[in-house]
Amino acid sequence: MNEQLERFVAQQLSERPTALYWEPVARIPKINDFEKVIWHFSNLWLQTKRPNPLPGLSPQQDAAERAEAREAIHQAQSSIVGLWCGAAITMLSEADLDAWSETVNWNLRNLRRFNDSLLGFYWSIKQLGDDDATFYNILAWYYTLNDLLLSDAVRRLEAAPADWKLRMPPGEALLYRASPQSALNKRIEEVRQSVSRSNALARSFCERLSVTPAEIDFMRAALSIVDGSPDEVPWEDFVVRSNLRTSLVAPRHFHVRRT
């Protein structure tokens, strides 16, 4: 991780210092702090989908509290994406950055629906246990961060390298005027290092937890299903319409279900 992301992760861990809070994710073997934070915000989002208002709150007050919590979670998860992609987004043009941000919002929507609804469905029919759902949620985050969002930012940079100078940080403006190629090479190297670090982190998760090709295939297929699920159709109806119970089987990662 880059230093900014490390500080963000450390801050989140320090704000929830009790071991009991982190136990549902910490009990998974070889999990790291970044992955705990992914679980943390996914868990907070899931809590905003409670079926009934909190005691002492009217339905209107409860709805307002949920909306405020969801906005805070969205901002935090967006920060994770921005810090993960690092140098790759600092040099995007304003138009590309706006378009990329829309892509981020859509993929965050997919990750939440993947975790809350799709994994929740497989959990409800006992194809997956609690730890399996956490495992697949983290795997989907790594895939989305690297293969969908970081790669999209890099693709946009490669499509318009001449525009990089438009977003040159103020401290490098003089360097750019004095030696344009040196400044450009410096930024290219920062992007390469960012991509290399990100790839290493995702690869490390797959190695530490012995992720199988079948599990990766399931995760990708499930995310594709979520991507095509319309917001206006209730999830329960979509499950029936897509015949999800038999059309896609979830491989269990952990052989023993933990509760």
Write out the chain's pLDDT in tens, 259 residues: 888 999 999 999 999 878 899 999 999 999 999 999 999 999 999 999 877 877 888 888 988 999 999 999 999 999 999 999 988 888 788 888 999 999 999 999 999 999 999 999 999 999 999 999 999 999 999 999 999 999 999 888 878 665 555 555 555 555 555 565 666 677 778 888 888 989 999 999 999 999 999 999 999 999 999 999 999 998 989 999 889 988 899 999 986 544 4
Cα separation values, 99 from 89, 138, 146, 231, Å: 12, 25, 17, 21
Token reading at 163: 């525009």
Contacts of 1 (CB under 8 A, 6+ apart): 9, 34, 197, 201
Going by the DSSP 8-state scheme, the letter that residue 127 receives in this structure is S
Cα gap 190→35, rounded to integer Å = 24
Token reading at 25: 């994710």
Q: What angle do CA 50, 56, 61 make, to 5 degrees?
A: 65
Contacts of 127 (CB under 8 A, 6+ apart): 249, 250, 252
pLDDT at 202: 94
Cα gap 230→244, rounded to integer Å = 15
Longest dimension (CA), the chain: 64
pLDDT at 164: 58
Residues found in the chain: 259
DSSP string covering 154-181: HHHHHH-GGGGGGG--GGGHHHHHH-HH
Token reading at 125: 């029919």
pLDDT at 187: 73
pTM of the model: 0.90
pLDDT at 257: 43
pLDDT at 161: 61
pLDDT at 165: 55
pLDDT at 258: 42
Q: What sign does the CA torsion over 217, 218, 223, 228 have?
A: positive
